[in-house]
Amino acid sequence: MDYLIEGINLGNMIVTSIVMIVLVVASTKARVLDTAGVTAAVFIGLLVGLLGHWTWLLTLLAFLVVSHLATKWKFEDKKARNMSESDDGHRGWVNVFANGGIPALIATGAFMLEEWEFGLWMFGAAVSVAAADTFASEFGCLDDNVRMITTFKKCEPGINGGYSKTGQIAALGGALIIGVMTFCAWYVTNNDIAVSEGISLTVAVVVIGWIGCQIDSLLGAWFENRGYLTKGGVNALAITSGMLIMLAWLNY
């Protein structure tokens, strides 16, 4: 069994299954996801792990863990300001699909085209956008010095399209975490390729994650505030933009 080969094979299936069991048990026990959220996570996780690779699944799992930690950071203060994700910080199936749906589709496309290396970097960019946006929201919502991204005028904290210094730094941090995870996933399955290539693409993942966060804010200001898009729709479009920017980068 070769655990380092992408796609459907025995080694990948075994490791993916182990990771999924840990995900279900841990997320249920820690109330990271509600019941529907766990079901959605299992569906997306299996697609990512089996059609992509278990290292991709670990990257997505890292996003879930750090996002939950970010959500729980100063959670009582967020509740007091009515800025918490839920009463106890858990997330549901809508959030899971909004953030994980595009990465799952990328894994599916990589499997169908047998283009896992390209797929990995597009996958990393998509998850990087999700992490950057989550970090910007969870850490930036308590910063009172907020400006609207479309006008640069001061606005209320937590409003769609608002940005702050704290949020921008946090967005970069979230993107960096996923960039490092993506590099590790690439290195595990491509350790015969020059490391410099992986490093340059890792930088691209981080930069695209941060840019995608700004796109999310613009979409929120233009469309979500006007009722044309939901939060999940904005997230999905921003994540898609990250995937497309990386695709253009890879083909440049």
Residue 35 has pLDDT above 70, yes or no: yes
- Does residue 223 fall inside a structural domain? yes
- Does residue 194 fall inside a structural domain? yes
**Among 73-77, 160-164, 223-227, whose mean pLDDT is lowest?**
73-77
- Does residue 39 fall inside a structural domain? yes
- Does residue 3 fall inside a structural domain? no
> In this predicted model, which residue has the larger pLDDT, 43 or 85?
43
Q: What is the pLDDT of residues 165-220, one digit of tens each?
A: 999 999 999 999 999 999 999 999 887 777 888 999 999 999 999 999 999 999 99
Q: Supply the range of the domain harboring residue 244.
A: 10-250
Can you give the pLDDT at residue 243?
Answer: 96
Total domains present in the chain = 1
- Does residue 2 fall inside a structural domain? no
Q: What is the mean pLDDT of residues 23-52?
A: 88
- Does residue 63 fall inside a structural domain? yes
Sequence-ordered list of residues with C-beta below 8 angstroms from that of 118, at least 6 positions apart, any chain: 110, 247, 250
Per-range mean pLDDT, top range of 31-45, 66-80, 228-242: 228-242
Residue 79 has pLDDT above 90, yes or no: no
Bridge partners, 154 (sequence order): 147
Can you give the pLDDT at residue 89?
Answer: 57
Can you give the pLDDT at residue 85?
Answer: 61
- Does residue 5 fall inside a structural domain? no
- Does residue 219 fall inside a structural domain? yes
